[in-house]
Amino acid sequence: MEKIRVETSAIAGQKPGTSGLRKKTKVFMQPHYLENFVQAIWNGIGGAEGKTFVVGGDGRYFNDRAIQVILRMAAAGGASKVIVGQDGLLSTPAASNLIRKRKTDGGIILSASHNPGGLDEDFGIKFNMPNGGPAPEDVTNRMFEATKAIASYDILEAQDVDLSKIGTTSLGEMDVEVVDPVADYAALMEKLFDFGAIRELFARGFTLRFDAMHAVTGPYAKAILEGTLGASPGSVLNGVPSPDFGGGHPDPNPIWAKPLVDLVMGPDAPDFAAASDGDGDRNMILGKGVYVTPSDSLAVLAANAHLVPGYAKGLAGVARSMPTSGAVDRVAQARGLSCYETPTGWKFFGNLLDDGRITLCGEESAGTGSDHVREKDGLWAVLLWLNILAASGKSVAELLGAHWQEFGRNFYTRHDYEAVESAKANAMMDGIRGSLDTLVGQTFPAGGVTMADEFAYDDPVDGSRSAGQGLRVQFDSGARVVFRLSGTGTEGATIRVYLEAFENDPVKINADPSEALADVIETAEAISNLKAITGRTGPDVTT
């Protein structure tokens, strides 16, 4: 086995976005593309020499090939050990857990999350820090700088490592330990939750459907939900990971997981249903006849987590990404908890979690998590819901109804306009940005504008500042509109319009969300001129 140095040159556009570097799979498969970025990761973290890493991915097309390249480059870089999930599989939260539990120097996660997979679809790679969380901006900036300066990379010439068998082998001087991707994660879940109570719930005939969407959570959900907890066989749907996710979008929302939503709205609805995404960090929560918005889910979990052993001591505080609704803020206010508002992307929660300032956090994009790992965690959210349902004896609809009665309701929806020409999307954002100063005091159907700005975040722990994190307009009615460009897309620009209205009249809280939000939607158009500028007549995806 020989270590070789391959000459290369910088490839443009290798800038990590909201969650790592995401590109079309064919782009990643171009000569040197992956290798350049992996070398830039090593360069960005001060080299791989003597270090131990975790590597795994969501099993999408090219996952297996990419892992072999990373292993050979880790060996060439002098890493002492790489821990890999069997067959190269690790859900994002399971990878985060392994990085922490084994006290490693970080890890590489291969995924484009909820984006479709396959030769013509998307691939992604990101680096997580020794705390188990996504690399913060200063580190990803160093990696990006390294991609621009690269002239060569080091790689071992070697055969593929067999990742199908659990155990330790070597690659050159480096150990490769293949681990069961589920075991450590399942053990962590068992520590946090009252598995006995959830088991009893199922023993009493409680029904569940979990849609793994042909993605990485299948083996985890089968082992934990059907295996350990006794949900009836067949409760886990689409539980075998496939490289192209069965040809679908592994995105747990009412559009891409429509069959599950239809099921809970129909006569054969189970008591509880949920879905997760490509890499297992997102979740969608459903009950008989109800869809729980991710923002509401975060708020309900924050209000009830103390019913669960792992959180019985109470919460240190909570956090939400800026576009997430203010539902959790109301819980925090009522319970005297500190509440932080961060930019979009899980990396911004890391410092707050490490510093013990928060216990729970979440995003409107179907992400919820806690201090148990440093990633959002889909199956964890499902188990937290199940444990709360078991402990409270209430149904999902009852819990949600009672929550709105107590705290009021933040009606919420997000409109996505995908693959918009970048120039048009930027023109729209520039237009809004230019009008921010004059918006305050103006009146729209959603109410009078009380605040309009471009969100910037000052991290209270390390003092770093992240500017340009979305345009927000707040109204005196409690309504809010936020405009942002996505940082995970691979084609043109994706415009996200986040729409929120607040209601605490006990009768009106049961209104149809589309009616409750009609004025806010109209207002967003008036402020942005989105239709005129982009030529679009309506959103591609509404969640």
Nearer Cβ to ligand VG1, position 480 or 496?
A: 496
Residue 55, beta-bridge partner list: 84, 108
Q: Are 496 and 414 in contact (CB under 8 A)?
A: yes
Among 39, 342, 486, 523, binds ligand VG1 (CB under 6 A): 486
Q: Does 140 help bind ligand VG1 (rule: CB under 6 A)? A: no
CA 174, 60, 234, 375 torsion-angle sign: positive
Nearest residue (CB) to ligand VG1, 19 versus 238: 19
CB of 416 to ligand VG1, least distance (A): 9
Footprint (CB under 6 A) of ligand VG1, residues 259-318: 277, 281-282
Which of 358, 364, 379 lies closest to 302, judged by CA? Answer: 358
Catalytic-labelled residue, pool 19, 111, 113, 242: 113
Residue 44 CA to residue 479 CA, distance in Å, equals: 42
Q: Which of 219, 252, 367, 478 binds ligand VG1 (CB under 6 A)?
A: 367
| Phi, psi for 540 (deg, rounded to 5) | -80, -40
- Give residues with Cβ within 8 angstroms of 313, minimum separation 6: 306
What does the DSSP assignment read for 477-523?
A: TS-EEEEEE-SS-SSSEEEEEEEEEEE--TTGGGS-HHHHTHHHHHH
Find which of Co ion, ligand VG1, none residue 367 binds, CB within 5 to 8 Å per kind.
Answer: ligand VG1
209 binds, among Co ion, ligand VG1, none (CB under 5 to 8 A by kind): none
> Residue 154 or residue 211: which is nearer to Co ion going by CB?
211
Per-residue tokens: 253:
């929302």
Residues that bind Co ion (CB under 5 A): 113, 277, 279, 281-282
Please state the closest distance from residue 277 (CB atom) to Co ion, in A. 4
As given in the structure block, the two tokens for residue 360 are 């729970």
- Annotated active-site residue 464? The verdict is no
Q: In the numeric block, which tokens belong to residue 368?
A: 């919820």
Q: Which is nearer to ligand VG1, 271 or 363 (CB)?
A: 363
Q: Which residues of 282-310 are buried (b: 16+ CB within 10 A; e: fewer)?
A: bbbbbbbebbbbbbbbbbbbbbbbebbeb
Q: Of these, 77, 181, 252, 345, which contacts ligand VG1 (CB under 6 A)? A: 345
Cα angle for residues 166, 167, 172 (degrees, 5° grid): 125
Using CB under 6 A, which of 114, 330, 357, 409 touches ligand VG1?
114
Q: How far apart are CA 253 and CA 496, in angstroms?
A: 15
Which of these segments, 182-190, 239-247, 265-273, 361-369, binds ligand VG1 (CB under 6 A)?
Answer: 361-369
Residue (60 or 282) nearer to ligand VG1, CB: 282
**Binding window for ligand VG1 (CB under 6 A); candidates: 46-54, 215-223, 344-352, 459-467:** 344-352
Closer of 91 and 359 to Co ion (Cβ): 91
Catalytic residue IDs: 113
| Contacts to ligand VG1 by CB under 6 A | 18-19, 113-114, 277, 281-282, 321, 344-346, 363, 365, 367, 486-488, 496
